[in-house]
Each structure stands twice: as structure tokens, then as C-alpha cells.
Amino acid sequence: MDAGEPGSALPVDWADGTRCVHAGLPEPAPGQPFLPGPVFAAPYHLDPWQGPAASPNGYGRPDNPTRRLLEAAIGELERGDCRVFASGQAAITGLLLAVLRPGDTVLLPADGYFPVRSFATDTLAGIGVTVRFAPTAGPYPALDGVRLVLLETPANPGLDVCDIAALAERAHAAGALLAVDNTTATPLGQRPLDLGADLVVASGTKALTGHSDLLLGYVASRSAELLATVTAWRTTTGAVPGAFDAWLAHRSLATLDLRLARQSANAQAVARLLADRPDVTGVRWPGLPDDPAHPVASVQMRRLPGIVSFDLGDAERVARFVAASRLVAAATSFGGLHTTADRRAQWGDDTAPGFVRLSCGVEDTADLVTDLTAALDAARP
């Protein structure tokens, strides 16, 4: 086997940490690295007689061995076949445009990622796709005549949760496809394909790779037909990640289990801190027993995300809070090693001015709680 091709599938009974460390690696060979370095190439040598049929590598846009190793790794974690894209937005818009046609109807989360909703109303509606919305937590309308239901659970940024298996059953009964945005949960948090989803889409920019140093997206499925449609779209549009980003992402996957464990523990401590403070409102984290998402999340999710949302009342107080903190950085995106706070209204999200999405990093829990307590005290009106 070529050192640049993935090895055999991992045993299904291996635990998360083991799977993350070994996912997508080639079979060991003396003198070869655990993870081969990135392959930088646009053209490859072709066989003079057979042309591209003689090798999996013909041209860099559709073919790259570094990218295939990453796809094998993410596919192992999602338990499906995977295609990676240049960003999460490239993956989700590529999926929507590849699957939907003029006259189709798509149902999207009313409280999901704002740029996806904007794309739907600006672009999909403009090419004749009927766009409908429903809140993640429901209620959901009748799905008759719907081609695709896109679900984001937990929703970003509000953290509502939907029962994937129940919605998949409803969608399939109506003849619709179900795609689940798994960005917030990651495949260690939940496996939508196991719960009946037809497709998984996610941003690998965030917790999946977790080092805040690359852009990445992916689509995964167990349907060869759907994956072929997505692959053809990616090949035609060229929305592929570079070899170095693919290599960085694969390297980062090895620590996913460790990173998520600390982030989730930090989120639990932070959520409890915030819930006990009378000067903080609207605290959401699906792990809190009284959170509206807890009943479904506690059954459906294998682990909970390191994201907490809350409201400090106004933009000025948010700014004072972040400025007073020594550990919290003002930054968008989430899932990185460093704790960050993002006031979503500044990006155009339809959230309250003081709404904060806090992404817990991997700092020591006690230090983070102490720092947040001091920053919140300093930011009081």
C-alpha cells in the first residue's frame, strides 16, 4: 500500500481517543512517518498510455493524497464517506447547490448560522428554490414536498437541540433528505448518520481541528449517490482545501478527544458560575439540568460542547467584561484552545445586543472560573 493512502478501517469498538489518534493513517511501513507530510502538486506524472486511469493522482483539484488521508480520518469519526472543502461555508453552500434544483423546497433552521440563512434568502431563492424556516427546537411544519431539511444541532449560537432520529423519520416519510450540521457537536459529540441523517455537513475550522489556524469544511454520507453529487460539485467549482491545511487538520484530529474533554468540563463549570449570578441572564448550555435542550441532549449526545451562551444586557458591558478578563479573547469562531467571547450582534446575527457566545478553551478550569468571576465583577454597571 502506498504510504499516502489510508489504511484499513478502524475497529468499531475502539474508544474515541484511540480512534482520533489513528484515524486515516496509512498502514505502518519501516522508515515512513506516522502521518506523511503534505503533497504539494497541481499536475502529476501521467502514464503515457493509460493517462489518469493508471493512478489516483492526475490533477490537484480533484486528486490529492494528503486530502484523501484527511477524508478517511473524518469519515472514520463520522462513520461515513467524507469530502473536505475549503471552508465550512463552502461545504454547506456546495451541498445546498448540489442537491437542490429550481422548484425544490428546503427547510432551514430559523436560529442557525446566520450566513447560511443569508445565502438561502439571497441566492437559493434567487434561482427558484423555495426557502422555509423552522426553529431548531420546533415545532416543525409538515414536510410534504420538501426536498431537503437542514438541521443544526446544537444550534449556533443559541444552543437549542433537536431530536435527530425523530426528525429523520418524519423527513424520510415525506420523501425528504435530512442533512445535519454537526459543527458544534463534532463527530465525538454525536453521529448523525447513526441517527438516520442522510448527510452530515460541518465546519472543520472550529472544534474539530481546534487550533484556530485553518479553514476547513466537510460533507459526509453513507449514500454513494449523494456523495458522488457532492464530489462532482466540488470538482467543478474547485472548492478544495490546500494540502498544507489538510495536513494541519489531520495532525490536529489526534488530540480532539483530549481537547473536547477539557472544553466540556470548562463549559460545565462556567455555565454553573453564570447561572448562579443575578447579573447574568439567558444562560444556555445543554448540560445544565434545567436547560430546555437538556432532555434531548442528554439522550442524543455522546458529549456536550464547550460553548456557553448568555446575555450581559448591552454591548458596552460585554466590552468591559472582555477587556477586564486576562484569559478571554474577543474573537469570532469557536472551539479553539483559547477561551473566546463573541458578541454575535456585531456580525449581523439577530441576537440581543448583549448576547455572548463564549467558547471555552483548554485552560485549567479553576483559573478560568476565577478569571471570569473577576471580569464579570469588574464589568458590573
pLDDT tens per residue across span 78-91: 999 999 999 999 99
pLDDT tens per residue across span 249-261: 999 999 999 999 9
Question: In sequence order, which residues have a C-beta less than 8 Å from that of residue 279 and are 6 or more positions away?
Answer: 312, 376, 380
Residue 3 — very low, low, confident or very high, per pLDDT cuts 50/70/90?
low
pLDDT higher than 80, residue 1: no
What are the counts of helices (DSSP H) followed by strands (DSSP E) for the chain? 12, 12
**CATH code for the structural domain at 257-379:** 3.90.1150.10
pLDDT tens per residue across span 4-26: 788 778 888 899 999 999 999 99
Assigned architecture for domain 16-26+33-252: 3-Layer(aba) Sandwich (3.40)
Report percent pLDDT > 90 for the chain. Answer: 94
Q: d(Cα 232, Cα 368) in Å, to the nearest integer?
A: 46
Domain boundaries, the chain: 16-26+33-252, 257-379
Q: d(Cα 272, Cα 293) in Å, to the nearest integer?
A: 16
pTM for this model (two decimals): 0.96
* Grid cell of 297 as nine digits: 441532549
Closest CA to 135 of 158, 119, 168, 115: 158
pLDDT higher than 70, residue 33: yes
Closest CA to 340 of 299, 298, 366, 372: 372
pLDDT tens per residue across span 209-232: 999 999 999 999 999 999 999 999
Q: In the prediction, which pLDDT does 2 show?
A: 58
Q: Residues 142-146: what's their mean pLDDT?
A: 97
Tell me 112's DSSP state: S
Q: d(Cα 308, Cα 302) in Å, to the nearest integer?
A: 17
* Grid cell of 158 as nine digits: 443559541
Tell me 312's DSSP state: -
- 315, 323 in Cβ contact below 8 A? no
* Grid cell of 112 as nine digits: 442557525
Q: d(Cα 145, Cα 176) in Å, to the nearest integer?
A: 8
